[in-house]
Amino acid sequence: MPPKPCCAGGMTRSLGHRSNGGSFLDVLGPLPAKSSMTPPEARHRAWSHRGGGEWRWLAMLAALALPVFLLGLGSPGLYDPHEALYAEVAREMLTRGDWLTPYLNGTRYLDKPPLFYWLIGLSYLAFGVSEFAARLPVALAGLGGVFLTWGIGRQLFGARTAFVAGLVLTASLGYFVFSRQVLPDMVLSFFMTSAVYAAVRGWLVEGQRPGWAMLFYAGLACGVLTKGVVGLFPLAVLGLYLALTGRLHLWRTMMPLRGALLIVLVTAPWHVLIAWRNDGYFWHYVVNEHVLRFLGQRDPMDFVSLPLPVFLLIVFLWLLPWSPYLALTIPDKWGDRSKDRDDRPDGRFVLLLWAGLPLIFFAASQARLPQYSLPALPALALLIGATLEDRCSGRVVSITGLLVATVVSLLLPVGALLSIPVYIERYHGVGLTEDIVWRVRAIFGLLAAGSTIALLSFCGRRWLPGLFGLTCGVVAAFVLVHQVLVRLEPLRSSRPLAALINAQHPGGKRIVLEIEKDDPFEYEKIAGLVFYTGQPVELLRRTNPPKPSVPLRPGERFVIGDGEFQRWWTGPARVLLVTDSFRDGAGILESHAPVTVVGHVGSLWVIANAPP
């Protein structure tokens, strides 16, 4: 039986698709078709019948995603401070045999829950301690997020939309970069996406399914055990969706008591044990790490919050070259949601809530970091995938908006050719060589080339060549992105410095890292040297030394002062000092102090109080 046409343009209804037309860009009207062009209906029909089966779309997506996420994980060296931090905490768990209490440099480090450390530790057990093993859980989380995004898109919109959404996420600049950074945010994004997938399967599409309900709560629990209460965002998304659509009565079918019990059973034991064994943990973890961090008043302050416009711009840049197509998701009219709908969920409304809540939360906070937008990217990719498939399949006849967005996608990388190097220098404190700058600009040149191919293809209503043009431009750029990350290693990683230190005989020396110029203070900066030298490192700060948030135990170290350092330097034991103040006259050493230069990497010098 043929599908029943709806009132707007003869388009058919589909789960999650609006039937009232295209975006506000499409109200400009369709472009006139040349008489020699293949009829648009044939183009749409050709797109709709490609693939021969929904699992072929998944196979095509997997063929692209597997090499993108799994190749090149062994380089560059771990970046300071955060990549090295998580890798080192997991290494100390392994070497100490204590999988309960996180340690950094032999001192308890209780800022984050343990699940991310456990995943890295398991990777170490399987592959040995290395950069590859440290990054593998993050890469697998990124890959899993793509497949979960495909699954959500398949349930809400169909296999073709799911394929396009997975393509968008796989070939997005920011998602690729953070899939190879040892940060918990990608793992958090995976667990949040898995919770959304379970909610879609368990309540929004297939009815009341107890098994999916428990998987939903398990995803929430793992998110909390990865990065705290922000792991509960999917619960807020689902609750808000049910409230706004008049379905709040369905909450009783979600087994909330069983779900709450599962979350408590998974998350409570570790938190209770740590609080019982460590005085001051509640204040440090709940108040300092959650409340005061949100307000920008953490003590000590260990981050630089991005200005709100920069944070929002970065969200846009992370989705390049696809982000301009977000404008197509804005409808030309907001219809009455209570009319002309069946019992199926409005997939796009779910996605708007999923993307919007994390972004609004972090935009309202005073702790805005680039990676905090990661949990919203799968939802944004699904929105982009749905609106692109609308045009490819003919649900939206006009392609004017599509062409306008593609032109913007072409122009944005051109502007980024000049702006991105400036951003890196300002917010990441690294000076870029010409070798790096031309690669950064070549990255955006490849993005512009992909958008050019897409524009020409879309003008002829050749949908797959256009999509693959965008994708190929990004994937080619990924090669250069990796090269840039490798070339930034001397500026961002402690591995070259550790090589200098390790060459000075493995044992019998004390290592001191001076961070006098660091503002804000980051204790985590010590992690890279500890990871690569395999021995404790002392942290030196003379002015305004911060106090630890948790009382220190005997044998634990946090920061040393001037007097203690001077005693070591003039004592009989060999001391190696890593400092960026050696040549500027503001260093800690007195003019008559003994100095042996070991070497330097960039602006950081390694000096000793005696020759080897």
The residue with tokens 């973890």 is: 285
- The tokens for 62 are 């997997």
Within 8 A by CB and 6+ apart from 156, the residues are 15, 16, 200, 204, 205, 345, 347, 350, 351, 382, 386
464: phi then psi, degrees, rounded to nearest 5: -60, -45
Q: What is the DSSP letter of 522?
A: -
Give which of 262, 222, 217, 258 is closest to 235, Cα–Cα. Answer: 217
Task: Give residue-wise pLDDT tens across range 225-268.
Answer: 999 999 999 999 988 988 888 877 777 777 888 999 999 999 99
pTM of the model: 0.87
The pLDDT assigned to 436 comes to 80
The pLDDT assigned to 551 comes to 83
- The tokens for 308 are 């709100």
Cα 190 to Cα 404: distance, rounded to the nearest angstrom: 33
| Residues of the chain below pLDDT 70 | 1-53, 205-208, 331-345, 416-432, 505-508, 516-521, 583-593
Exposure string for 279-300, b = 16+ CB within 10 A, e = fewer: eebeebbeebbeebbbeeebeb
- The tokens for 600 are 């330097």
Other CB atoms within a 10 A radius of the CB of residue 265 amount to: 10
- Go through the chain and tell me how many residues it has: 612
Cα 146 to Cα 161: distance, rounded to the nearest angstrom: 13
Exposure string for 149-168, b = 16+ CB within 10 A, e = fewer: bbbbbbbbbbbbbbbbbbbb
Task: Give residue-wise pLDDT tens across range 546-572.
Answer: 777 788 888 888 888 888 888 888 888
